[in-house]
Structures are given as structure tokens and as C-alpha cells.
Chains A and B, each alone.
Chain A
């Protein structure tokens, strides 16, 4: 039997295919269930590392600057992502504060730390210490990282409040917008390529 690493198994229906090199904009699709098998990703390790560091900076901006501020009859108030997690932590709904904290702060932070760690070593053609663990955590964290939902939520909040008071989007909101788009690009399934590269 040929070496197993050259095969690709459809995760939706268990069909086995041989891996093929892809050109730009190409993807391979399972002939039985139409699920995507491979997708072309043009980013080099260097580019991915650069984008991860950029995203880490944006994370700092998104977390330390207010997402938006409001004013009402001369009174002003602003809120960061952490403030909104704290707002949930009061009363009987504390558990939701934890879920929200994971979804919008902790999971993205860990994703970025792990990516930067793994990619900096990959730049030197080496597997980082704890490579296996880091890669498995990147898989586990992905579904729980919900920054793009948070971005839409912030926009809905702007409209919700705009009716009764003045709303000003803050630096945090713009950082959040850029960060959520970047994360989709760099923290997706393509990280799995590193298994073959190193």
C-alpha cells in the first residue's frame, strides 16, 4: 500500500483521494458529497507571520481602546470589550460573561499567540517546542473565536443606541473590524499546511 500521507480523506463522507498541487483560486471538491477538500492559499510562512503580528497589534488596540462612546445631555461614557464582558458578569448570568470573554477576547488572543509562536519557528524551517500541542489547540479554538460576530454586534449596538443618544465609534471598533477580517484569513484551516512543510 502506498504511503498514507499522500492521501486526503473527505471529512464529510470518508472518500479517499490523492493530494494534488493547486494553482491560484483553485480548490478541490469531493465528487460524492461536494465538500471542499483542499483550498489554494497563496500566503508564505513569512507573510503569515507578518499578518499574525499585525493582528496581535490590532488585538491590543481593539482591547485597550473603547469600541464606542456615547453622550447624553452632557454626560459621556465609553466601553471597551472588557467592559462589556464585565457588564454581563453581574447577577445570575455570570456564566455568559465567561462565554463572551472566551469568544471575543481569550480565544482570539490565544490563537494569535499560538500562530506567532508556531510561525516564528517555521520561518527558520523548524518545529516550535510544543508544536503538536499548539497546532491541536489552534484547531480546538477556531469555532469558539467569534470576533466577526462581535463586529456585527457592535454595529447593531450603534443603531440600537443611535435612536436615544449620540454614538461615536471608537478606535477599538476600527481595530476590531480589521482584526476580525485578518483572523478569518490567517487562523483558518490553512495552518494545517505547516504539518507538511516542517
Chain B
């Protein structure tokens, strides 16, 4: 297949901050236009992506098991987890809201774990399988990333509103901390991954700076 030249073949490097195609013949360390640090590839991309993702995976367990909020109405207190919140909406017939929360809080992080692992493993094996689709998958992961923050913000708003001492109060519980950490770490993980690795032929992985013009 005929393809356009790549940046390394022309001895160029993309500045991630301003989008300038920087000439690398003098090996500059910073973008001449915006002073941001230049890297041909994100530093330690694979190790960082794995590390952030595994950290997020570890937090995903308490995030789903621990209660995220406590509702006390007229003296009766009840803890609720994310899943029990979804089920409550479902049982009351609000299937649409239940679906939104389920997708944002449980499905999106799950999809991100699977997608990032798939990307990491295929890149490490130097696979050339479905490269275009994997690129699209990465863009999808980046796009859905922060929507999981939904539940944290819902709990915050609800807890700020329902403060009627004896009649009823809602308080956040530690689950929401772990849940927020899952979101932050999966975002960091997706940011550390370098999608250009998908397109790298295995042979040239070691030599990235030999092309001269």
C-alpha cells in the first residue's frame, strides 16, 4: 500500500503542544516555536501506560465494593454502592438514567481496561493486525475517558443539597475516592500511550534517528 512519508523518514518531529513539524537535524530538545519539550515518541510509553492502568485496576475493586454514599432519611441510614444506585433507578422504572450511570461508571472503565490492554499487548508483540482499527480504538478510549467522572460529581451535588439534619442527610463515602482515582489513573494511562507505536514496524523500533537528508 502506498503511504505518505513518515516524520522520522523526513527527520521531522511533531510538537505535541503546538502541532509544529519540527526539523530534527540539529537535535533540538525543545520546540522552536512554543518551547515545549520535543520527543519523537512519548517517553517510556508502554511502561507508564501499564503502570497507570494496573493502578487504576487495583482501585477499581474498592471503587465498586465500597459504598459511595450514605443516605439517612428520618433516622434510617443506608449505604449505597454504584451498582445499587443503578439497580435502584432500574427498579423504579427509570431505565434511561440507570443506563446512563451504568455506562458512565461501570461500562466505560471496563471498556478502557480491555481496550488499553489490547493496545499494549498488540504493540508489544509488534503486531500489524488491524492497525487502522486499533488507531480508532485508541481515539475512542481518549474520547470516553473523562465521562466516568459523572458519578463523583453526582454524589458531590447530591451531598451538598441534602443537608436537613434530623429529616435527612446524604454524605459521600470512601468508595467515591477510589472511583475518582480510577478515572484519573485511566486518563493518565490513555495519555501516556503513544498511538504511533501501533504503526511502527518491529524492525525499526530500535533505530529511530538514522534517516538523513
Interface residues of B in 20-53 (CB under 8 A from A): 20-23, 33-36
A-B Cβ contacts below 8 A, count:
218
B14–A103 touching, CB < 8 Å: no
Task: Report the separation of the CA atoms of residues A32 and B133 in the bound assembly, to the nearest whole angstrom.
Answer: 11
B161 CB contact (under 8 Å) in A35, A79, A97: A79
List B contacts of A34 (CB < 8 A): 132, 135-136
B17–A156 touching, CB < 8 Å: no
Q: Does A149 contact B (CB under 8 A)?
A: yes
Size bracket of the B interface: 35 or more
B34–A164 touching, CB < 8 Å: no
Interface residues of A in 49-94 (CB under 8 A from B): 67-70, 72-73, 75, 77-79, 83-88, 90-93
A152–B150 touching, CB < 8 Å: yes
Task: Report the separation of the CA atoms of residues A152 and B154 in the bound assembly, to the nearest whole angstrom.
Answer: 9
A84 CB contact (under 8 Å) in B20, B157, B196: B157
Q: Does A153 contact B (CB under 8 A)?
A: yes
A136 CB contact (under 8 Å) in B17, B22, B195: B17
A4 CB contact (under 8 Å) in B12, B35, B97, B163: B12
Nearest chain A residue, comparing its CB with the CB of B36:
A136
Report, nearest first, the 9 A-B pairs whose CB atoms are least far apart.
A153-B153, A79-B160, A84-B156, A87-B160, A7-B21, A33-B135, A87-B159, A93-B177, A9-B14
A149–B34 touching, CB < 8 Å: no
Nearest chain B residue, comparing its CB with the CB of A68:
B161
Interface residues of A in 1-45 (CB under 8 A from B): 1, 4-5, 7-9, 11-17, 31-35
A136–B199 touching, CB < 8 Å: no
What are 25 of the A-B contact pairs (CB < 8 Å)?
A5-B21, A7-B21, A13-B196, A14-B196, A16-B6, A32-B199, A33-B195, A72-B167, A75-B167, A77-B162, A78-B161, A79-B160, A83-B160, A86-B160, A87-B159, A90-B171, A100-B153, A135-B18, A153-B150, A156-B100, A156-B101, A156-B150, A157-B154, A157-B161, A164-B73
Interface residue ranges, B against A (CB under 8 Å): 3-10, 12-14, 16-23, 33-36, 73, 85, 89, 92, 94, 97, 100-101, 104, 131-132, 135-136, 138-139, 145-147, 149-164, 167-168, 171-174, 176-177, 180-181, 184, 187, 191, 195-196, 198-199, 213
